[in-house]
Amino acid sequence: MLNIENLEAKVDNKNILNGLNLNIKPGEVHAIMGPNGSGKSTLANVLSGKNGYETRGDIKFNDENLSELSTEERAQKGIFLAFQYPLEIPGVNTNVFLRTSLNSIRKAKGEKELDTLSFLKLVKEKSSELGIDERFLSRQLNVGFSGGEKKKNEILQMKILQPKLAILDETDSGLDIDALRIVADGVNSYKNKDNAFLIITHYQRLLDYIKPDFIHVLSKGKIVKTGNAELGVELEKTGYANFI
Amino acid sequence: MKTEDLKNSQEYKYGFTTDVENIRAPKGLNEETIKFISNIKKEPKWMLEWRLKAFERLKVLKEPNWQKPKYPKINYQDLYYYSAPKSASEKPKSLDEIDPKILETYKKLGIPLDEQKRLNGIAVDAVFDSVSVATTFKDELTKKGIIFCSISEAIKKHPDLVKKYLGSVIPLSDHYFATLNSAVFTDGSFVYIPPNTRCPMELSTYFRINASETGQFERTLIIADKGSYVSYLEGCTAPMRDENQLHAANVELVALDDAEIKYSTVQNWYPGDENGVGGIYNFVTKRGACRGKNSKISWTQVETGSAITWKYPSCILQGDNSVGEFYSIAITNNHQKADTGTKMIHLGKNTKSKIISKGISAGKADNMYRGLVEIKNKASNSRNYTQCDSLLMGNKCGAHTIPYIKNNNSTSTIEHEATTTKINEEQLYYCNQRGLDQEEAVSLIVNGFCKEVLQQLPMEFAVEAQKLVAISLEGSVG
């Protein structure tokens, strides 16, 4: 599904990613761990097509060259990024945002736009799965939301937009145990053999709830170690020092 | 808004002209022109005298020039002050008598004048250049004692009301453009709501400038008698022309005891092309008097058109406990300029005013909020709250806020909040990541920014206004 070969990324002439390789197949959950400044969020941003990065190397998403696609085209083709710091958009209801988003993606896929009633039904179903109060949806997007609410909102969006590849950028940071569990349940209930996850995290604790197939250690813009779920437990004990 | 729609609407879609034969007054501003206007409208003598008095006054007034947007000197002798479609020289008695071309024009603009079609139960008065061509739903309104007609008709049929209120809010000698209007005004709407009557439908006037080299000077007068309520909406469009056309209207509102007037404007005059050639000079005087106790006047404006918008819809809060509100969205793109805001003059006790202004600037445009809040010494326990937000798109545009605040009563309070923000790249990225393209993202964010004002508009127009906001900003980011 995703094939990254020798990816380099620069910001303001500073090298952040230095020849990163990664392959993700449908049905897989990959976790990326690494110290601060190792390039984790840059990887997420480069994959989703954020401006401001100078990149080299090859990224293929379902055999399509990603670097030729705009941010919205990537989203329309099924790449979803759960933001580390979800943005506030004052005056825009969460509902309206979600519906505009869903319909843009459906339209790009040549599907019919969802009418208000079917949309509300869908939202109701997905939010109750996550234990999110419906009133939450008529609030302005992320405005005045707590850290936990913002992250839950990201997961709700993921479940509604149904991406092929979901990238979670430190979705677990700043969450209490209950919120962490809700986020993890959201991921686990969405996971199937056709989609894949790339989970960026600092801590093992999220991986107690979401079992990764692979854990990669990122250091200085390169993957320096790849292992299975055991690796996370080891990292938690020993820190990154042995790997970087 | 759909991408397809956006692509199709890149240009000003109201820019067409209608080819109708016109009757025009000779060019130039003089007594003869004023007599011509009064004569062709078969006005009573007192009206002509009133106009001439204004003209006398005009001779000693100077055009103001304290505003930020400057414009080349207007040659008032080189303008037509009266232009009317020939077929309307006698006001048509029914829709069948209106020139089909004009009906077609309004149809293109999405304003069906055909009552059978019942535009959501909104009564429409349509003003084409200098004359009102049709007023719908007259019978239904008449049953309730509501008068909704062109001002020309009101001058003839309801002279007592007109004499009593015309010029009572905007005096004859107020300032250059208002006085010019008093001398040469051609048509506009007149509304009278009798005591304890709630107007059962939205009243709406649609203004269209069609002829070239023509100024439009409309005059609107709305009177809400004791305990009555009316919601009124005006819309405006003009063809694309490479000359600048002057639009200097006067709007007077009077609210008596316990009465409420809600006045909404969706202004979409031709803004000029992307190089700033052509477009309407929208120099308008709008003022409402909350004359009675517990009365309320609420202005809502969505200003997206015109080369220059220069207006301050105001409230004079005379009655005790009266309320004045001003909700504004002013969007300037390309070379457009706006200097707009409001005046809230508190005279009565316990008077309240609220100002919510949203200015959006893109391209090389310049957007100014200028507002006066004045609490006079007898207006005890009065309050004002002002919020001015500016949104900048790109780095070649400007936003300015100039509040004038005068409080002469120690028991009264004035609050002013202002923010200026640039459209946030991160917000756009977030929207893009959710599959929205750049135009959709901008439209969503800007509509969110304007929400407090948009939700003041009558339902039927809110959707239109939202689209207009998006269209006005097309191509401004990216």
Query: Which value does ipTM take for this structure?
Result: 0.95
Q: Enumerate chain B positions whose Cβ falls within 8 A of a Cβ in A.
A: 424-427, 429-438, 440, 444-445, 447-452
Question: Which of B266, B169, B269, B147 has the alpha carbon at shortest distance from B219?
Answer: B169
Contacts of A76 in chain B (CB under 8 A): 435
Residue A24 tokens read as: 């993700």
End-to-end CA distance of chain B: 17
Q: Which phi and psi angles does B387 have, rounded to 5°? A: -135, 120
Q: Do B435 and A86 touch (CB under 8 A)?
A: no
**B454 touches B447 (CB < 8 A):** yes
Q: What percent of chain A has pLDDT over 70?
A: 100
Mean pLDDT rounded to a whole number for chain A? 92
Q: Is the pLDDT of residue B132 over 80?
A: no
pLDDT of residue B3: 36
Contacts of B425 in chain A (CB under 8 A): 51
Mean pLDDT rounded to a whole number for chain B? 86
Contacts of B444 in chain A (CB under 8 A): 89, 92, 96-97, 100
**A213 touches A29 (CB < 8 A):** yes
Instruction: Identify the residue with better confidence: B470 or A150.
Output: A150
Contacts of B433 in chain A (CB under 8 A): 48-49, 71-72, 75, 80-81, 83
Number of H helices, E strands in chain B: 12, 24
Residue B173 Cα distances to B27, B32, B183, angstroms: 24, 20, 10
If pLDDT is split at 50, 70 and 90, which confidence band does B5 have?
very low
Residue A152 Cα distances to A83, A161, A171, A173, B331, angstroms: 11, 14, 9, 12, 35
How far apart CA A106 and CA B36 sit, in angstroms, is 61
Q: What is the dihedral of CA B448, B449, B453, B456, to 10 degrees?
A: 10
If phi > 0 it is left, if psi is from -120 to 50 it is alpha, else beta; for residue B142 that is alpha
Which residue among B424, B429, B451 places its CB closest to the CB of A50?
Answer: B429
Q: Is the pLDDT of residue B8 over 50?
A: no
Which residue among B426, B427, B432 places its CB closest to the CB of A72?
Answer: B432
**Picking from A132-141, B101-110, B143-152, B343-352, which range would have the lowest pLDDT averaged per residue?**
B101-110
Reduce the DSSP state of residue B62 to 3 states and report it: coil
pLDDT of residue B159: 96
Span A55-63, average pLDDT: 93
Question: Which of B67, B301, B107 has the alpha carbon at shortest distance from B208?
Answer: B107
Q: Is the pLDDT of residue B120 over 50?
A: no
- One-letter amino acid at B314 equals S
Reduce the DSSP state of residue B86 to 3 states and report it: helix
Cα–Cα–Cα angle for B115, B118, B121, rounded to 5 degrees? 120
From the CA of A211, how many Å to the nearest CA of chain B?
26
Contacts of A97 in chain B (CB under 8 A): 434, 444
Residue A162's H or E segment, with its range, is: none
Which residue among B427, B435, B450 places its CB closest to the CB of A89?
Answer: B427
Q: Enumerate chain A positions whose Cβ falls within 8 A of a Cβ in B.
A: 48-51, 70-72, 75-76, 80-81, 83, 86-87, 89-92, 96-97, 100-102, 104-105, 108, 140-141, 157, 161
If pLDDT is split at 50, 70 and 90, which confidence band does B123 have?
low
Question: Which of A69, A96, A148 has the alpha carbon at shortest distance from B447?
Answer: A96
The runs of H, that is alpha helices, within A112-241 are 116-129, 147-161, 177-190, 205-209, 229-238
Q: Is the pLDDT of residue A9 over 60?
A: yes
Instruction: Identify the residue with better confidence: B12 or B177.
Output: B177
Most confident of A32-41, B116-125, B456-465: A32-41
What's the length of chain A?
Answer: 244
**B353 touches B323 (CB < 8 A):** yes
Bridge partner residues of B368 (DSSP): B339, B400
For every residue of B436-471, DSSP letters joined together read --HHHHHHHHHHHHTHHHHTTS-HHHHHHHHHHHHH
Contacts of A48 in chain B (CB under 8 A): 433
Hey, what long-range contacts does A184-191 have (CB within 8 A, 24 or more apart)?
A: A184/A209, A184/A210, A185/A130, A185/A209, A186/A129, A186/A130, A186/A152, A186/A155, A186/A156, A186/A158, A186/A159, A187/A155, A189/A129, A189/A159, A190/A158, A190/A159, A190/A166, A191/A29
pLDDT of residue B459: 78
If pLDDT is split at 50, 70 and 90, which confidence band does A243 have?
confident
In this predicted model, what pLDDT tens digit does every residue of A82-107 receive, in sequence order?
A: 999 999 999 999 999 999 999 999 99
Query: 């508009």: which residue's tokens?
Result: B457
pLDDT of residue B187: 84
Q: Which residues contact A88 (CB under 8 A, 6 or more apart)?
A: A140, A141, A142, A143, A145
Q: Do A72 and B424 touch (CB under 8 A)?
A: no
**Picking from B156-160, B167-171, B303-307, B460-464, which range would have the lowest pLDDT averaged per residue?**
B460-464
Q: Do B440 and A100 touch (CB under 8 A)?
A: yes
How far apart CA A67 and CA B110 sit, in angstroms, is 44
Residue B2 tokens read as: 């759909």
Cα–Cα–Cα angle for B205, B207, B209, rounded to 5 degrees? 170
From the CA of B183, how many Å to the nearest CA of chain A?
44
Which residue among A90, A91, A104 places its CB closest to the CB of B436?
Answer: A104
Contacts of B448 in chain A (CB under 8 A): 89-92, 140-141
pLDDT of residue B1: 32
From the CA of A76, how many Å to the nearest CA of chain B?
5
- One-letter amino acid at B186 equals T
Span A138-160, average pLDDT: 92
Q: Do A87 and B433 touch (CB under 8 A)?
A: no
Q: Is the pLDDT of residue B10 over 70?
A: no
Q: Do A75 and B434 touch (CB under 8 A)?
A: yes
Q: What percent of chain B has pLDDT over 90?
A: 56
Reduce the DSSP state of residue B234 to 3 states and report it: strand
pLDDT of residue B94: 59
Which residue among B424, B426, B437 places its CB closest to the CB of A72?
Answer: B437
Q: Is the pLDDT of residue A170 over 80?
A: yes
- Residue B219 burial (10 A CB sphere; 0-12, 13-18, 19+): buried
Reduce the DSSP state of residue B55 to 3 states and report it: helix
Q: Do B433 and A76 touch (CB under 8 A)?
A: no
Q: Do B447 and A50 touch (CB under 8 A)?
A: no
pLDDT of residue B131: 62
From the CA of B48, how many Å to the nearest CA of chain A?
50
If pLDDT is split at 50, 70 and 90, which confidence band does B472 have?
confident
**B298 touches B325 (CB < 8 A):** yes
If pLDDT is split at 50, 70 and 90, which confidence band does B4 have?
very low
Q: Which residues contact A118 (CB under 8 A, 6 or more apart)?
A: none
Reduce the DSSP state of residue B355 to 3 states and report it: strand
From the CA of B455, how many Å to the nearest CA of chain A?
11
pLDDT of residue B49: 96
Q: Do A104 and B452 touch (CB under 8 A)?
A: no
Bridge partner residues of B147 (DSSP): B192
Nearest CA in chain A to B478: A51
pLDDT of residue B144: 93
